[in-house]
Amino acid sequence: MPRESLRALQNKRLHNTVDYVYHQVPYYRETLDRVGIKPENIRSVDDLQKLPFTKKQALRDYYPFGLLAVPRENLMRIHASSGTTGKPTVVCYTANDVDVFAEVNARSLATAGARRGMILHNAYGYGLFTGGLGIHYGGERLGMTVVPVSGGATQRQVTLILDFKPEVICCTPSYAQTLGEEFKKRGISPEEISLKVGLLGAEPWTETIRVAVEASLGIAATNIYGLSEIIGPGVSQECIEARAGSHIWEDHFYPEVVNIETGNPLPDGKEGVLIFTHLTREAMPLLRYWTGDITYLTHDVCACGRTHVRMGPIRGRADDMLIVRGVNLYPTQVEEILKGIPEVTPHYQIVVTRVSTLDEVEVKVELTEEVFRHVAQDVITDDVIAVDHAMHALRNKIEHLIRDTLGLGVTVTLVPPETVPRSEGGKLRRVEDKRNL
């Protein structure tokens, strides 16, 4: 759709949504009355700035059904966020919402290169988490053959992939790493794996992981993004043609990126907090929902021809950001640095402790098999590698790189291959903050 038509559609849908929630959801009527806004004041997406943000706390305060715009009996489905950060929040769907959920996921799959008739190995978790069922419905809508494997039971997953020969896989990037390692252990090369494309998401990942996963599974890996409050997976998806940012399905979810301190909108290319406004939601529409995810937007024309705006990779969540001795640190920044060091794998863990008043950061970094084989056996104790001469140099190199790039002194611990926690199907937490802040 040309951008002018898309804009006209958004304006119409936005006005309808604001009018709808004003009359159906007491929370929004009170909020809008408080700032003196009537639905007729919101005629275009440029008027959005007049509205306050909706934060996750509102969903908690009105738990479970306080923000519904429809009678409870009209709900077809209830999901909950996976609760990575705090108490889970409940999200509700009418039949029409489930229909849109299927539509945006079918669209995402097609955008990633999936086609009718292909087999989809769906290793996102099924259940309250939106990932499994969202992708599942999308695959069916597209006319694919869906295998609802869900997360975990890695041995069985590998067997099923070898037997069914799916072309498409959906899972978290960390679980794709786990699967890749399992294939390697079984001596199966990427060329022998039927998979062609992967839709990976639900947690932050970087180009390092993309390269590793593509090499081990023999796929083209694309990013899928979503959050339960907005619909689940299928809010945005990277196109297989360009793989340069994820197209946001903005005919359903209107995006903004704002300054984290001031809340003011930011121009293309500038990183800030991602905000979404529902344009077609029936059960629980949200206005200017503050995702806490940090990224930027770009309206540049995409090589694939789609006109939908793109978002960059998620740098992290606002609440994923560690503040260590006053320095802001996202785990993905450490990952970017490790990418440049051939002796180590993209598996790492960050442990933050506080010794009296001083924050200490330990970065556990895994050696590759090849390097590990050459480490003198007598320096390996339990899960840690003592520093002999060569290891000393490597450790110093990584510590210096991190200090130079991030302005933060850390202690690097080198550990043997496969000792850092792996994904067992769901989201992987790469940070352990033991500070009790």
Rounded CA-CA distance 58/66 in Å is: 9
Which residue matches tokens 């309808």? 16
Size of the site for ligand ADP (CB under 6 A): 20
Beta strand 119-122 with 145-147 is parallel
CB of 260 to ligand ADP, least distance (A): 14
Phi, psi (5° rounding) for residue 339? Answer: -55, -35
Q: Which helix (H) or strand (E) segment is 44 a member of?
A: none
Options 238-246, 340-348, 352-360, 420-428: segment touching Zn ion (CB under 5 A) = 238-246
Can you tell me which of 104, 118, 176, 239 binds Zn ion, judged by CB under 5 A?
239
Q: Of 86 and 269, which CB lies nearer to Zn ion in the complex structure?
A: 269
Q: Which two tokens stand for residue 68?
A: 């519904």
Q: Does 272 bind ligand ADP (CB under 6 A)?
A: no
Q: Which does 135 bind (CB under 5 to 8 A by kind): ligand ADP, Zn ion, none?
A: none
Q: Does 242 bind Zn ion (CB under 5 A)?
A: yes
Binding letters toward ligand ADP, positions 218-257, x by CB under 6 A: -----xxxxxx-----------------------------
Beta strand 168-171 with 119-122 is parallel
Q: How far is C-alpha 305 from the chain's CA centre?
A: 24
Q: Does 54 bind ligand ADP (CB under 6 A)?
A: no
Where in 112-141 is the site for ligand ADP (CB under 6 A)?
129
Q: Of 22 and 290, which CB lies nearer to ligand ADP in the complex structure?
A: 290
Q: Of 251 and 293, which CB lies nearer to ligand ADP in the complex structure?
A: 293
Task: Give the contacts of 394 (CB within 8 A, at least 6 positions apart).
Answer: 341, 343, 344, 414
Options 9-17, 27-35, 242-250, 273-281: segment touching Zn ion (CB under 5 A) = 242-250
E-state strands within 208-264 = 220-227, 232-238, 246-248, 253-258
State the first-to-last Cα distance of the chain, in angstroms, to the nearest integer.
49
Q: Helix %, strand %, coil % for the chain, to 5?
A: 35, 25, 40
Rounded CA-CA distance 190/196 in Å is: 10
CB of 210 to ligand ADP, least distance (A): 11
CB of 105 to ligand ADP, least distance (A): 13
Q: Which residues pair with 171 in a beta bridge?
A: 200
Q: Does 333 bind ligand ADP (CB under 6 A)?
A: no
> Which residue ranges make up the site for ligand ADP (CB under 6 A)?
81-85, 129, 201-204, 223-228, 291, 293, 314, 317
> Which residue ranges make up the site for Zn ion (CB under 5 A)?
239, 242, 302, 304, 306
